[in-house]
Amino acid sequence: MNREQVIAAYTAPGRHYHNLTHIEDCLAALARVDNLSEREREILTEAIWWHDVVYDPTRSDNEELSARLAEQHVREDIGAEVARLIRLTKTHDVQGDDRLGAILISIDLSILGAEPARYDAYAAAIRQEFIHVPDADYRAGRAHVLGQFAARPVIFPDPAFAARYDGQARENLARELAALR
C-alpha cells in the first residue's frame, strides 16, 4: 500500500470525519510539538498516517487492521512501534511513561478541544459516519463515549496538549452531552 493508496482510503465515500482533513490536522498538531528526535517525529508521522487507514464504523477492529497494515508497509525498524501506537487509539489509554503514546493520543483527541463551531462540525461529521445507527441508539452510544472522556481526570495525556485543550474540551463535551440527553 503506497501513499497514494493510503490517501485514497482517507478520501473514500462515507468518511466525514476520519478523512484526509483529520490526517492533515493531526500532522499540523505534530508540527507544533517540540523536543522530538528525528526518529520520534518519523514514528509519530507514520502512526498518524496509518492510524485510521482502515475505518468502517460497523466494525470494532479498525485499529487492529490499521496497525497490521502499518506493520506490513512502514519501514521495518519502526513498524512495530508505529503499530503499537496505532493500537492505543482504540481505547486512548496511555501509560504514564509512554511519551510518544501520550503525544499521539493527545493529537488524535485534539479535536475535542477545538473552538465550538469546529467541534460542532466534528460532532455532525461523526453522526454522518454512524448514519446507519438509529438516532436513539446513536445518542445513547455517543453519550456513553463522551461521558467516559469527560469523566477522565486528564483527557489529554500529554501535558502541553492538556494545558492547551482541556478547558475547551470539557466545555465542548458538556455541551454535546446536554444536547444528546
Residue 83, C-beta contacts closer than 8 angstroms, at least 6 positions apart: 67, 68, 70, 71, 74
What rounded mean pLDDT belongs to the chain? 97
pLDDT at 90: 96
* Residue 131 amino acid letter: I
- Mean pLDDT for the stretch of residues 1-10: 94
Q: Which helix (H) or strand (E) is 96 found in, with range? A: none
**Secondary structure letter of residue 111 according to DSSP:** G
**Secondary structure letter of residue 51 according to DSSP:** T
Q: Which residue has the cell 519501514?
A: 75
Q: What nine digits make up the cell of 113?
A: 478541544
Contact yes or no for 85/101 (Cβ under 8 A): yes
Q: Any alpha helices (H) in 32-61, and if so which ranges? A: 38-50
Write the pLDDT tens digit of every residue in 45-90: 999 999 999 999 999 999 999 999 999 999 999 999 999 999 999 9
d(CA 79, CA 81): 6
- Mean pLDDT for the stretch of residues 150-159: 97
pLDDT at 33: 98
- Mean pLDDT for the stretch of residues 6-17: 96
**Secondary structure letter of residue 176 according to DSSP:** H
Write the pLDDT tens digit of every residue in 89-133: 999 999 999 999 999 999 999 999 999 999 999 999 999 999 999
pLDDT at 98: 98
pLDDT at 16: 98
